[in-house]
Amino acid sequence: MKLPWDKNKQSSGAGDGGSTAASAAPAGQGKTSVTGAEEQKLPRGYTPPKGRPTPKRRDVELERGIIGGQSLAPSDTYGQARQKRKEMKASMSKEEYKAYKEREREERLKRQREQQAAMDRGEEAFLMDRDKGEVRRYARDWVDARRFISNYVMPVAIALLVIMLVGNFFPEFAATASMFAMVLMLVFLIEGIILGRRVNKAVRERFPETTETGFGLCYYSYSRAVQPRKWRTPRARVELGADV
Protein backbone atom coordinates (compact mmCIF):
# COMPACT_ATOMS: atom_id res chain seq x y z
CA MET A 1 0.00 0.00 0.00
CA LYS A 2 1.42 3.37 -1.06
CA LEU A 3 1.21 6.20 1.47
CA PRO A 4 1.43 9.90 0.56
CA TRP A 5 4.69 10.41 2.48
CA ASP A 6 6.31 7.44 0.67
CA LYS A 7 6.23 9.27 -2.67
CA ASN A 8 9.69 10.78 -2.26
CA LYS A 9 11.14 7.48 -1.14
CA GLN A 10 9.66 5.74 -4.15
CA SER A 11 11.11 8.32 -6.56
CA SER A 12 14.54 8.12 -4.96
CA GLY A 13 14.36 4.35 -5.03
CA ALA A 14 13.49 4.49 -8.68
CA GLY A 15 16.56 6.66 -9.27
CA ASP A 16 18.79 4.23 -7.42
CA GLY A 17 17.41 1.29 -9.32
CA GLY A 18 17.78 3.01 -12.67
CA SER A 19 21.28 1.66 -13.18
CA THR A 20 20.10 -1.84 -12.29
CA ALA A 21 17.28 -1.64 -14.83
CA ALA A 22 19.67 -0.20 -17.39
CA SER A 23 22.14 -3.01 -16.83
CA ALA A 24 19.38 -5.62 -17.24
CA ALA A 25 17.98 -3.97 -20.34
CA PRO A 26 20.37 -5.40 -22.95
CA ALA A 27 19.36 -8.97 -22.16
CA GLY A 28 15.68 -8.40 -23.07
CA GLN A 29 15.92 -5.16 -25.02
CA GLY A 30 14.27 -6.50 -28.19
CA LYS A 31 11.23 -7.99 -26.41
CA THR A 32 10.65 -4.84 -24.34
CA SER A 33 10.71 -2.60 -27.39
CA VAL A 34 8.24 -4.79 -29.28
CA THR A 35 5.84 -4.89 -26.34
CA GLY A 36 6.00 -1.11 -26.00
CA ALA A 37 5.32 -0.67 -29.72
CA GLU A 38 2.29 -2.97 -29.52
CA GLU A 39 0.91 -1.06 -26.54
CA GLN A 40 1.34 2.24 -28.42
CA LYS A 41 -0.58 0.90 -31.43
CA LEU A 42 -3.63 -0.05 -29.35
CA PRO A 43 -6.33 2.68 -29.42
CA ARG A 44 -7.49 4.36 -26.28
CA GLY A 45 -10.25 2.43 -24.51
CA TYR A 46 -9.28 -0.83 -26.22
CA THR A 47 -11.04 -3.89 -24.79
CA PRO A 48 -9.60 -7.35 -25.47
CA PRO A 49 -11.96 -9.93 -27.01
CA LYS A 50 -13.95 -11.96 -24.47
CA GLY A 51 -13.73 -15.22 -26.39
CA ARG A 52 -17.49 -15.76 -26.90
CA PRO A 53 -20.17 -14.25 -29.16
CA THR A 54 -22.27 -11.41 -27.79
CA PRO A 55 -25.79 -12.72 -27.01
CA LYS A 56 -28.77 -11.23 -28.79
CA ARG A 57 -30.70 -8.56 -26.97
CA ARG A 58 -33.97 -10.46 -27.22
CA ASP A 59 -32.41 -13.58 -25.69
CA VAL A 60 -31.06 -11.57 -22.76
CA GLU A 61 -34.43 -9.86 -22.24
CA LEU A 62 -36.28 -13.18 -22.29
CA GLU A 63 -33.82 -14.61 -19.76
CA ARG A 64 -34.42 -11.64 -17.46
CA GLY A 65 -38.19 -11.73 -17.97
CA ILE A 66 -38.38 -8.59 -20.11
CA ILE A 67 -40.34 -7.97 -23.32
CA GLY A 68 -39.95 -4.86 -25.44
CA GLY A 69 -37.90 -3.12 -22.76
CA GLN A 70 -40.62 -3.61 -20.12
CA SER A 71 -40.21 -6.01 -17.24
CA LEU A 72 -42.83 -8.69 -16.74
CA ALA A 73 -42.49 -8.37 -12.98
CA PRO A 74 -43.97 -5.32 -11.22
CA SER A 75 -41.24 -3.05 -9.84
CA ASP A 76 -43.52 -1.13 -7.44
CA THR A 77 -45.92 -2.20 -4.75
CA TYR A 78 -49.64 -1.69 -5.23
CA GLY A 79 -49.64 1.43 -3.03
CA GLN A 80 -46.69 3.00 -4.86
CA ALA A 81 -48.21 2.29 -8.27
CA ARG A 82 -51.53 3.76 -7.15
CA GLN A 83 -49.84 6.91 -5.85
CA LYS A 84 -47.91 7.35 -9.11
CA ARG A 85 -51.12 6.96 -11.09
CA LYS A 86 -52.83 9.62 -8.99
CA GLU A 87 -49.96 12.04 -9.51
CA MET A 88 -49.95 11.36 -13.24
CA LYS A 89 -53.70 11.86 -13.48
CA ALA A 90 -53.43 15.17 -11.62
CA SER A 91 -50.73 16.42 -14.01
CA MET A 92 -52.80 15.66 -17.15
CA SER A 93 -55.96 17.00 -18.64
CA LYS A 94 -59.00 14.78 -19.02
CA GLU A 95 -58.36 14.18 -22.74
CA GLU A 96 -54.65 13.47 -22.19
CA TYR A 97 -55.36 10.99 -19.41
CA LYS A 98 -58.00 9.26 -21.53
CA ALA A 99 -55.51 8.93 -24.41
CA TYR A 100 -52.87 7.65 -21.97
CA LYS A 101 -55.28 5.01 -20.65
CA GLU A 102 -56.08 3.90 -24.18
CA ARG A 103 -52.37 3.57 -25.08
CA GLU A 104 -51.72 1.69 -21.85
CA ARG A 105 -54.57 -0.70 -22.61
CA GLU A 106 -53.32 -1.34 -26.14
CA GLU A 107 -49.77 -2.01 -24.89
CA ARG A 108 -51.08 -4.38 -22.22
CA LEU A 109 -53.16 -6.30 -24.75
CA LYS A 110 -50.20 -6.43 -27.11
CA ARG A 111 -47.95 -7.86 -24.38
CA GLN A 112 -50.61 -10.42 -23.49
CA ARG A 113 -50.94 -11.48 -27.12
CA GLU A 114 -47.15 -11.80 -27.42
CA GLN A 115 -46.95 -13.87 -24.25
CA GLN A 116 -49.83 -16.12 -25.35
CA ALA A 117 -48.26 -16.60 -28.79
CA ALA A 118 -44.95 -17.51 -27.14
CA MET A 119 -46.73 -20.01 -24.86
CA ASP A 120 -48.50 -21.54 -27.86
CA ARG A 121 -45.14 -21.97 -29.60
CA GLY A 122 -43.78 -23.70 -26.50
CA GLU A 123 -41.00 -21.22 -25.64
CA GLU A 124 -39.57 -22.24 -22.27
CA ALA A 125 -39.25 -18.67 -20.95
CA PHE A 126 -43.04 -18.15 -21.15
CA LEU A 127 -44.32 -21.56 -20.10
CA MET A 128 -45.78 -22.28 -16.69
CA ASP A 129 -43.70 -24.40 -14.35
CA ARG A 130 -45.88 -27.47 -14.97
CA ASP A 131 -45.10 -27.33 -18.72
CA LYS A 132 -41.33 -26.80 -18.56
CA GLY A 133 -38.73 -29.43 -19.27
CA GLU A 134 -37.96 -32.10 -21.83
CA VAL A 135 -40.02 -34.71 -20.01
CA ARG A 136 -43.22 -32.67 -20.11
CA ARG A 137 -42.57 -31.74 -23.75
CA TYR A 138 -42.19 -35.40 -24.64
CA ALA A 139 -45.37 -36.29 -22.72
CA ARG A 140 -47.32 -33.61 -24.63
CA ASP A 141 -46.05 -34.92 -27.97
CA TRP A 142 -46.89 -38.48 -26.93
CA VAL A 143 -50.48 -37.51 -26.13
CA ASP A 144 -50.90 -35.26 -29.18
CA ALA A 145 -49.88 -38.07 -31.54
CA ARG A 146 -52.70 -40.40 -30.38
CA ARG A 147 -56.49 -40.54 -30.29
CA PHE A 148 -58.33 -41.39 -27.08
CA ILE A 149 -61.95 -41.79 -26.06
CA SER A 150 -61.20 -39.19 -23.40
CA ASN A 151 -60.79 -36.59 -26.17
CA TYR A 152 -64.59 -36.37 -26.09
CA VAL A 153 -64.98 -35.72 -22.36
CA MET A 154 -66.01 -32.07 -22.82
CA PRO A 155 -68.59 -32.72 -25.60
CA VAL A 156 -70.05 -35.56 -23.50
CA ALA A 157 -70.24 -33.29 -20.46
CA ILE A 158 -72.19 -30.69 -22.46
CA ALA A 159 -74.51 -33.40 -23.80
CA LEU A 160 -75.13 -34.65 -20.27
CA LEU A 161 -76.04 -31.15 -19.15
CA VAL A 162 -78.64 -30.95 -21.93
CA ILE A 163 -79.95 -34.39 -21.02
CA MET A 164 -80.41 -33.31 -17.40
CA LEU A 165 -82.49 -30.35 -18.52
CA VAL A 166 -84.58 -32.49 -20.86
CA GLY A 167 -84.95 -35.17 -18.20
CA ASN A 168 -87.23 -32.93 -16.18
CA PHE A 169 -89.89 -33.46 -18.86
CA PHE A 170 -89.02 -37.09 -19.80
CA PRO A 171 -88.07 -39.03 -16.65
CA GLU A 172 -87.71 -42.39 -18.45
CA PHE A 173 -85.31 -40.94 -20.99
CA ALA A 174 -83.32 -39.29 -18.19
CA ALA A 175 -82.90 -42.64 -16.36
CA THR A 176 -81.58 -44.35 -19.51
CA ALA A 177 -79.23 -41.43 -20.24
CA SER A 178 -77.91 -41.53 -16.67
CA MET A 179 -76.99 -45.19 -17.01
CA PHE A 180 -75.21 -44.47 -20.29
CA ALA A 181 -73.37 -41.55 -18.65
CA MET A 182 -72.19 -43.77 -15.79
CA VAL A 183 -70.79 -46.30 -18.26
CA LEU A 184 -68.95 -43.52 -20.13
CA MET A 185 -67.47 -42.15 -16.92
CA LEU A 186 -66.21 -45.64 -16.05
CA VAL A 187 -64.65 -45.93 -19.52
CA PHE A 188 -62.95 -42.54 -19.09
CA LEU A 189 -61.57 -43.61 -15.72
CA ILE A 190 -60.15 -46.89 -17.02
CA GLU A 191 -58.63 -45.19 -20.06
CA GLY A 192 -57.07 -42.53 -17.84
CA ILE A 193 -55.33 -45.21 -15.76
CA ILE A 194 -54.08 -47.01 -18.87
CA LEU A 195 -52.93 -43.74 -20.47
CA GLY A 196 -50.99 -42.76 -17.37
CA ARG A 197 -49.23 -46.12 -17.15
CA ARG A 198 -48.27 -45.99 -20.85
CA VAL A 199 -46.94 -42.42 -20.59
CA ASN A 200 -44.85 -43.27 -17.53
CA LYS A 201 -43.44 -46.34 -19.27
CA ALA A 202 -42.56 -44.34 -22.42
CA VAL A 203 -40.93 -41.57 -20.38
CA ARG A 204 -38.84 -44.02 -18.34
CA GLU A 205 -37.58 -45.61 -21.56
CA ARG A 206 -36.74 -42.24 -23.09
CA PHE A 207 -35.35 -40.60 -19.93
CA PRO A 208 -34.03 -43.38 -17.65
CA GLU A 209 -32.65 -40.97 -15.04
CA THR A 210 -35.76 -38.78 -14.70
CA THR A 211 -37.69 -38.48 -11.44
CA GLU A 212 -40.83 -36.87 -12.91
CA THR A 213 -42.73 -40.10 -13.46
CA GLY A 214 -45.66 -41.14 -11.30
CA PHE A 215 -49.10 -39.76 -10.54
CA GLY A 216 -48.11 -36.16 -11.40
CA LEU A 217 -47.09 -37.04 -14.95
CA CYS A 218 -50.15 -39.28 -15.32
CA TYR A 219 -52.50 -36.46 -14.28
CA TYR A 220 -50.69 -33.96 -16.51
CA SER A 221 -50.98 -36.21 -19.57
CA TYR A 222 -54.62 -37.10 -18.97
CA SER A 223 -55.62 -33.48 -18.38
CA ARG A 224 -54.15 -32.67 -21.79
CA ALA A 225 -55.90 -35.63 -23.42
CA VAL A 226 -59.36 -34.48 -22.28
CA GLN A 227 -58.92 -31.05 -23.88
CA PRO A 228 -59.92 -30.51 -27.52
CA ARG A 229 -56.83 -30.47 -29.71
CA LYS A 230 -57.28 -26.84 -30.80
CA TRP A 231 -57.62 -25.63 -27.19
CA ARG A 232 -54.39 -27.12 -25.89
CA THR A 233 -51.59 -24.87 -24.67
CA PRO A 234 -48.82 -25.18 -25.76
CA ARG A 235 -50.10 -26.05 -29.23
CA ALA A 236 -49.61 -29.56 -30.57
CA ARG A 237 -46.31 -29.86 -32.45
CA VAL A 238 -46.92 -33.30 -33.96
CA GLU A 239 -49.65 -34.68 -36.19
CA LEU A 240 -52.00 -37.50 -35.24
CA GLY A 241 -50.36 -40.84 -35.86
CA ALA A 242 -46.81 -39.45 -35.70
CA ASP A 243 -44.10 -41.70 -34.33
CA VAL A 244 -43.05 -40.13 -31.03
Q: What is the mean pLDDT of residues 4-23?
A: 48
Look at residue 78 in the predicted model and tell me its pLDDT: 77
The answer, yes or no, to whether residue 35 has pLDDT greater than 90, is: no
Instruction: With respect to residue 43, please indicate whether it lies within any of the assigned structural domains.
Output: no
Give the mean pLDDT of the chain.
Answer: 79
Same domain flag for 75 and 149: no
Which positions ≥6 away from 240 have C-beta within 8 Å?
A: 144, 145, 146, 147
The answer, yes or no, to whether residue 33 has pLDDT greater than 50, is: no
The domain boundary residue, chosen from 94, 126, 158? 126
Look at residue 40 in the predicted model and tell me its pLDDT: 57
If one counts the domains in the chain, the total is 2
The answer, yes or no, to whether residue 56 has pLDDT greater than 80, is: no
Dihedral angle, C-alpha 177, 178, 179, 180, nearest 10 °:
50
Q: What is the DSSP string of 223-243?
A: HHHTS-GGG-SSPP-S-TT--
The answer, yes or no, to whether residue 60 has pLDDT greater than 60, is: yes
Same domain flag for 121 and 156: no
Look at residue 59 in the predicted model and tell me its pLDDT: 67
Look at residue 39 in the predicted model and tell me its pLDDT: 52
Look at residue 27 in the predicted model and tell me its pLDDT: 43
The domain boundary residue, chosen from 78, 94, 126? 126
Instruction: With respect to residue 21, please indicate whether it lies within any of the assigned structural domains.
Output: no
Instruction: With respect to residue 35, please indicate whether it lies within any of the assigned structural domains.
Output: no
pTM exceeds 0.75: no
Instruction: With respect to residue 96, please indicate whether it lies within any of the assigned structural domains.
Output: yes
Instruction: With respect to residue 2, please indicate whether it lies within any of the assigned structural domains.
Output: no
Q: What is the mean pLDDT of residues 137-161?
A: 91
